[in-house]
Structure 1
C-alpha cells in the first residue's frame, strides 16, 4: 500500500463520527472463545461500561483471575480494563460469543442456522480424540453443532454447506493433526405440532416419585422452543417447578415422526405431583422428558405432528432464451417464484425452494447457461416438508423403540415399578388433566 490519504481519512473519521457514550456500571460482551498454546480456554470480551479489574466476580461465582492484553501471540497482564478496551480472560467456563456480562445484554441469536447433517469418518484416528477436538471447536463457534451417539459410536456435525466442511477439515488437520473425512450430507429436518396437547410423564420406580403435566402449543414459525410455568405452588413446589423448567432446556428433544429435533412450540408446566418422602431431582428429569414424548405421541396418533425442512430464498439470472427451462426446474423442485424481471440480456427469477431439491442445482445452471448464469441462495428458515411422507418412510423411525427418548412411564404397585405404555398413561395418571380436548381445539384455533 502507498499509504496515501491516510491522514485525510483519519481526519474525516474524527470529524464525522462521535464516541459512543458508556455507562458507569460494569458491562462487557463476549465476542470470541479461543484456546492458547497450553490449551487454556480464553474468553475474549469488549468492555462496554465501567471497568473490570483482576479478581472481580463477573459470572456467577467466577472471577477474572487474569486480564490479558494481546499483541499477536504475545500478551501483557493488566490490572484493569476500562470501557472500550478488549481483553482475554483465561479459565472462565460457560461463556459463549454474544453473551452479555454485568449490565450488558446478550447479542441477538444468529439468524442463519445449519441445515445439513454430516457423519464424521475418523479414518485411523481414535474416535474420542476426534470428538474432543470437535467439541473444542464447537465451544469456540456455537454455530458448529456436534452430537455424539453412544449407541452408534458415531459423531455427527451440523453445518451450512460444503465450503464450511472444507474449512473445518483443514482446521482439524492444521491445529489438531487429525486427517478425517465426512460422509454424505443429509438434510437437517425438524418437527413441530399443529394442535395443543397435554403431555403426561410419570416416574415411580420403588422409592422414587414424580408426575409432570405439560401443555404443548404450536408457536409461530421460527420462534423455536419456549418454556413457561403456569402451576400453583400449592400443587407443585417452586423447587420442583424449577427442576422441570431446567430439565426442559437440558436436552435436545426429538420428534416422533423421524427423530428430528422439535421446534416452534411453547411448553408450559400446568400440573404435577411430588412426594415429600421419595421425590428427588432426577425423578422430575425422567417425568419431564417422558411427558414431552407422550404428548407428541398423542398428536402423532391424531396426525397433528408436522415435518419441517429448510428452504432457500434464491435469485437466479439466466439468458432470456433460458428462462423457460429455469421456471420449469423450479416447479419440478416444488419451489415458488415471482414474476420474472426481464432485462436487456438477462432475466432474473426470484423465489423460494426446498434445500433438498435445490442443493447442487448450481452445476445444472452452469451447464445449460454455458457458465453465464448466476445463482444465489440464502437460508429462508423452515417450512412444511414438500415430500413428508417419503422422508418419513425413508427414515423408518420407531419412537417407541427409542429407549433414550421413551414416551412411556413407570408406575408402582405392590412394592415394584412397572412400565406403562404412552397410550395408557392418561388412565393411569395420578393427577387429573388440566385441559379437555375441546379446550385444546379452542387454543389451536385462536
Structure 2
C-alpha cells in the first residue's frame, strides 16, 4: 500500500469558505446498527468514493483483509466529508462499543448535531438511551435514522415506537416507509408533503402530519403560525420546511428518517434532511475559552476572520506520515505553512501534563477515514487533519502564537478498569515506554499510573474491550508486554495497646553506640495517621535525641513490619529511656525507636487493613435488585439509595477496593450495559480473618 496522503478513486473538492455551508454530524448508535455502512453508502451515493470499493482507514477494502479493517474501524472515531447541494457534510463515525466513550465524547465535541442510528429490527438499547440523555444535557440537536430496512425482521413502525418511548414525544417521522407487493420496503412518503419516492402502496399519514406540524410550529419564531393553524388555516409547506431547522436546533423536534444503505432507499432524503434540518456551525455555540492574559471564560464566534481557535479531537499514528491530528476549527482559519500555538490544559493525573509549544503546520488535509486529501484552508466550523504536530495531543488547543487561547476541555469519563502491565523482558522496556506515551497522547480516556507502593505500572481503561485494544496497540508498536494481577496496597495497625522496649548498644572499640527507649503504643481512630508524644521526665533522654526516637519510629512505620505494609492510625508515646554521655547518637536512638516499635507489635499483634471505596452506582430500577445482591456478595455495605430520575436509582455503598478491580465489566453484564458507577477512596477497614 502506498502513502496515505491521497486516497485512490476519491474526488477532491475545494475547501469551503462559508461556515453556513458546513454541517458537522456525529453518528451515534450501538455496534451492529449500521453506522459505518451508512457512511459508506452516503460516500458512494454522493460520488465521494467509487461504487466498486469502500474507503475505510484510507484504503480500499481489497487492499486488506476486510474483517481486520472492520475490527479496526469499530473502535476509533473517523471522519468523512460528503458534498450535497453545495454543502459540505462532515460525517463523524463513532464506535458502538460502550468502552470507547472517549471517542464518542470527541465526536460530540467536533459535531453540531447527532444522528442516532437505530436498527429497525432491534430498537433502542440502554446504552443508546444514556447517550441520548447525555446529548440532551448539552443541548445537542438530534435526529434518528431507522437503518437496515433490508433485514427480514425489520419493523420500522415498532422501532419508531421504541424510539419515542426511549427518547420522548419529540421523536416524529419525517418520512414513512412504503412496502412493495413482496413485503419489502421499496419507497418513502414525505409526512409533510405526501410525495413519494420509489414504489409501494401509499399509507395514511394524517396523524403523523398533524403531530409534525404542531411540533414545528411550537418552536417557530413566527408566533402567528399557531393561531393560524388552530383556526384551520393551511400553513405553506415552504414555511414549515423553513422552520424545521429551528425546531430541531432548539431540541423540540427530533425527526426520524427510514434508510436502507444496501438499497440506497432514503439516502437522498437523509442528505436533504441533514442540510435543511440540522444547524450550521453558525447556529451551534462554540466551547468557552480562556487566554493567558486572564480574560475569560468567554465564547468565540465561528468567524473565519476571527482569532484562531481549533481543537484536536482525535489523534492517530500512521506508519507512513506519523502522528495525524484531527482538528475542529471553532474560530478563524487554519492555513498551511503557518505557525500555531499548541497548548494542553493538563490532566496530570492521567499522564497529560501541561504544555505550551509553537509548531509549524506544513500541510492541511481533508480526512476520509484516515485517508488524507490536501486542502488549501480550513475555516471556522470545518474539520481538517494535520500531520507531524509532535506535541499535539487529543484535547489540545491550536491557536495563534501571538494570541494563545485555551479551549475548555470536554468532560471525560473516569476509567475504572485497572490493567497491570510489565515488559516481557528488559529489551522491551524502552518500546513499552515509547508506545505508552503515544497511547496517552491519543487517548485521554486512558490513565497511566505508576503505583509507588505496589510498584506496578497500571493502565486504567474504560472496559475489557478498551483494554484489549490498548494491549494490542502496545504489541503492534514492538513492545512485548505481559499482564499481572493488580495488587491493592494494604495497611496495618495494632490490634491493642502494648509497650515496647528498644535497646541498641554496641561496643566494638573506639566510639560505641548506646540508646535505650521505652514506648507505649495504642491504636488510634481510623484516618488519624501516626501521632508521636513525649512523656519523658528527668532528662532520661536528652531533648536532641527525642526527635531521633521519633524519626526511627516513623521510618519503621513507613517501612512496615510485615511484607513492607505501612502502619497507620497509631499513637506512640515515649515514656522513658537511657543515654550515654559519649556513645549516644542520633543514629543510635533512631535504631532504638524502630526496635521498640517492633517489640510492641509482637505483643499487640497486627491487624491488616484494606482500602474501602465509596461507590455510587447509577442503575435502571429494573436492575436494582441484582445490583444490590452483587454488592453484598462483594462485602459491600449499602449506605443509601435515592431516585436519580424517572426509572433510575443511585445506590451508594462502601466496597473493598480489591472487590472492584473488574467491577466495570461485571456491572455492565448485570445491567445489560446500562449502569454506570463512580468510586473514590473512603477509608481503611480491617480485613476479615
Bigger Rg, structure 1 or 2: 2
TM-score by length of 1: 0.48
Q: Which structure has more RCO (C-alpha within 8 Å, separation ≥ 6)?
A: 1
